[in-house]
Structure 1
Amino acid sequence: MAGNGKGNLEGAVVAVAGAAGPAGRAALLRLAEAGAVVVASDADPARLAEAVDEARYAHGGATVTGETVDLLDLDATRQWADRTEKEFGRVDGLIHLVGGWRGSKTFADVPLADWDLLHDLLIRTVQHTSLAFHDALQRGGRGRYVLISAAGASKPTAGNAAYAAAKAAAEAWTLALADAFRKEGGEDGPHAAAAILVVKALVHDAMRAERPHAKFAGFTDVKDLAEAITGVWDRPAEEVNGHRLWLTPQP
């Protein structure tokens, strides 16, 4: 079922966590275009409804659903995974787009309250979605868990201490999931894969409109990120499992 882009996910069931932001909207559009059944979640019901409607109407006939899920509640996250598999018969992917950023001018100025916030947004939600969807991704036969991360996790700066540390922890957790997939696959290799897409930062049309003279050097457009997300299914599980796939120069 891997292919050249359009239609390469025909019939696949892909869940998207954090679907209402610019990256989430781009992912919903691209996944729907590729033929996937898209199951979206976000903490903001109004923005989620707009994102789901946009993807649904852009690709007539596409199945795109949305529901508000508290990803800080493990039981609620497990219930979302179970409902998805029960309704559609399988789960082929979980795209983790839950984001957030806090920074400071200097290292000494970092408020530890930023860590508390980012711990929940960037680490705890990854723990819950990976635990909730692990079994279903294995059963699907071509499951993919995709984390979107930042280059700063590999090269932290003084004012980005809390953000970089949280991203690094989320990456480590995802790589542990990849190791589980590898071990569970045995001699045949992993049946599912956990991969990390690494960007410097993301840019979208509204940002360019607000800052028409900005160059956004090294930034990844959300449409290109969405293309890279669908591309994770174009390669065998063993080629992407446990790998950081860089969409920006590696520091």
Structure 2
Amino acid sequence: MSEVITESAVEPQRLVRGRLVLLAGGTSAAGRACARALVAAGGRVVIVGSDAGRLRDAADSAPGTAIEECDLTEPAAVSALRDRVHSAHGNVDGVVHLVGGWRGGGGLAGQSDEDFAALLRSFTALRNVSRSFDDDLRASDAGRLAIVSSTAVARPLAGGANYAAVKAASEAWTRAVAQGYAKSARDAGRDLSAAGVIFRVRSLDGLEEALASAVVALWDDDAADVNDVVIEIGASA
């Protein structure tokens, strides 16, 4: 299932109020926009990143947020992060995965192992974070896991093969998580409460606020309406 959200199509609501949302890799411009929008809507936010200076800057740009320094590619570090978040804030209701970055160009011959290894860190971080906080999201009455992917998955180019492959893997992982949510709810004979969602963008430049609004709106819909859904940000309807 897929839907399109343009830059002005989503009005932030307040149904995220009181929810604890973890922004993994949230020190980017998009992460800061998401943090500000979530706090403005009444959410509680923990920004996670690996650079202490960027974390402090992110917190300054989004007053009311908490910050945690963590290497999300290290399973033990993510487990320790989960314990710290639980101790300080309680269980998590949402994880928004913003770890990413672009490396590419040069056609297929330019797809170096070094670039692939760097890009793969995003997928590794997603696997670690989604597994560590899986129990939280399943236990929440409105758990949400969301990733930011790329339109390159639908139309990969030779010069971006590494990038598209990693994004495709991240989408497959998120869809598998979504299937797990649905199966657990079905097997237990209860309504679905958790959802795995994929946001796709061509580029986040200039669309940070649109993404932030879409993140806030994840809690405005029933889980069944957004689970295993691809939402395109900034595409023409």
Assess same fold via TM > 0.5: yes
> Counterpart of 1:102?
103
Counterparts of 1:182 and 1:116 in 2: how far apart (Å)? 32
Partners of 1:144 and 1:29 in 2: CA distance: 18
Deviation larger for 179-188 or 125-134? 179-188
Relative to structure 2, which stretch is displaced further, 185-194 or 144-153?
185-194
1:238 partner SS: helix
Q: Contact 1:85–1:136 (CA<8 Å) still a contact in 2?
A: no
Shift of 1:153: 1.2
Q: Is the 8 A contact 1:19 1:97 kept in 2?
A: yes
Aligned residue among 199, 202, 205 for 1:203: 205
Q: Name 1:232's counterpart in structure 2.
A: 218
| 2:209 matches 1:223 | yes
Partner in structure 2 of residue 243 of structure 1: 229
Deviations 1:34-77 (A, max 9, x none): 11110111111101111112211xxxxx3x10011110111211
Unaligned runs of 5+ in 1: 57-61, 205-220
Separation (CA, whole Å) in 1 of partners of 2:233 and 2:132: 27
In the TM superposition, what is the alpha-carbon distance from 1:134 to its structure 2 partner?
0.5
Q: Deviations over 1:183-236 (max 9, x none)?
A: 1112324221110011111114xxxxxxxxxxxxxxxx1011100111111110
Moved more, 76-85 or 11-20: 76-85
- Where structure 2 has 5 or more consecutive residues not aligned to the other structure, the ranges are 1-10
| 1:50-89 equivalences in 2 (<5 Å) | 50-56=57-63, 62=64, 64-89=65-90
The residue that corresponds to 1:188 in the other structure is 190
How far the C-alpha of 1:141 sits from its partner, in A, is 1.4
Bigger relative contact order, structure 1 or 2, given CA contacts below 8 A and separation 6+?
A: 2
Q: Which runs of 4+ in 1 moved over 4 A?
A: none
In the TM superposition, what is the alpha-carbon distance from 1:248 to its structure 2 partner?
A: 4.0
**Cα deviations across residues 72-93 of structure 1 (Å, max 9, x unaligned)?**
1112112212322333232110
Q: 1:224 to 1:249 in 2, by over 3 A?
A: closer
- How many Å apart are 1:6 and its aligned residue? 4.5
Partner residue of 1:10?
A: 17
Give the whole-Å Cα distance in 2 for the aligned partners of 1:136 and 1:109. Answer: 41
Q: Which residue of 2 aligns with 1:174?
A: 174
Q: Distance in 2 between matches of 1:47 and 1:226?
A: 19
C-alpha displacement of 1:169 = 0.3
Match for residue 33 of structure 2 among 13, 26, 49: 26
In structure 2, C-alpha distance between the alignment counterparts of 1:6 and 1:54, rounded to whole Å:
21
Q: Which residue of 1 aligns with 2:3?
A: none
**Contact 1:103 1:159 (C-alpha < 8 Å) held by counterparts:** yes
Paired residues, what number? Answer: 224
State the one-letter code of the partner of 2:162. Answer: A
Provide the secondary structure at the position in 1 that maps to 2:110.
Answer: coil
* Residue identity matched to 1:226: A
| 1:130-145 equivalent positions in 2, closer than 5 A | 130-145=130-145
Aligned-residue offset at 1:116: 1.2
Q: What is the CA–CA distance in structure 2 between the aligned matches of 1:185 and 1:85, rounded to whole Å?
A: 24
- Which SS does the other structure have where 2:149 is aligned? strand
The normalised TM-score by structure 1 is: 0.85
| Secondary structure of the corresponding residue to residue 8 of structure 1 | coil
3-state SS of 2:200 partner: strand
